[in-house]
Amino acid sequence: MNDDLWNSIFGDFGDIERRFERMFSELSKGNGKTYGYTMYQGPDGIPHVREYGNSVGTCSPMISASEREPFTDVTRNGDKVSVVVELPGVKKEDIVLEGNKSSLQVSVDTENKKFRKSIALPCEVDENSATAEYNNGILEVNLTAKNSIESGRRIAIA
């Protein structure tokens, strides 16, 4: 009777263990799935939402199930724009980086690793100012903004 009560409450732990083993096996093969979104305000003042990840059916149709969308971080500090892209397990020679005044495109297409992402920049940049460095799985791209942020003036409060 106690075994029946235990199984009715907690079910078969062997099934849960098999699920975890299958999940970790998929992760070790590099078949992990990610999904998320980034919210940012563009230079036009309009809020934007951008999805990322490689979960089939939930992310951009531009990403196939075999490709991954790398995690990125875009920051602007004055007239400097910095883009950081995580590309673990990739050789520098396998990275294709292209850019224009409003976006960067990053792709890697090797037998074992496939990454692709188009990254919207927060402002127009001078493409000729771009410098890139890749170290320990992290690609950092630095650019100069075409229109610098004007400093404001202090306003007295009555």
Domain extent, residue 74, equals 66-145
Distance CA 72, CA 82 (A): 10
46 inside domain: no
Total-model pTM: 0.57
Whether 74 and 140 map to the same domain: the answer is yes
Same domain? For 22 and 77 the reply is: no
Kindly state the average pLDDT of the residues 18-31: 69
Q: Tokens 């942020």 — which residue?
A: 149
Is residue 70 located within the same domain as residue 135?
yes
Is residue 124 pLDDT above 50, yes or no? yes
Residues 134, 79, single domain; the answer is yes
Q: Where are the beta strands (DSSP E) in 16-137?
A: 35-41, 47-53, 72-77, 80-86, 95-99, 103-109, 114-120, 125-135
- The one-letter code for the residue type at 18 is R
Q: Determine whether 102 is exposed, middle or buried from the number of CB atoms within 10 Å of its CB (0-12, 13-18, 19+).
A: middle
> Which residue intervals of the chain are DSSP H helices?
2-10, 13-28
Q: What percent of the chain has pLDDT over 70?
A: 62
Residue 42: phi, psi to the nearest 5?
Answer: -75, 170
Give the chain's domain count. 2
CATH value at residue 123: 2.60.40.790
- Which of the two residues, 88 and 33, has the higher pLDDT score? 88
The answer on 85 and 15 residing in a single domain is no
> Picking from 6-10, 13-17, 63-67, 121-125, which range would have the lowest pLDDT averaged per residue?
63-67
Higher pLDDT, 141 or 47: 141
Tens digit of pLDDT for each residue in 50-84? 766 655 444 444 445 567 889 899 999 888 999 99
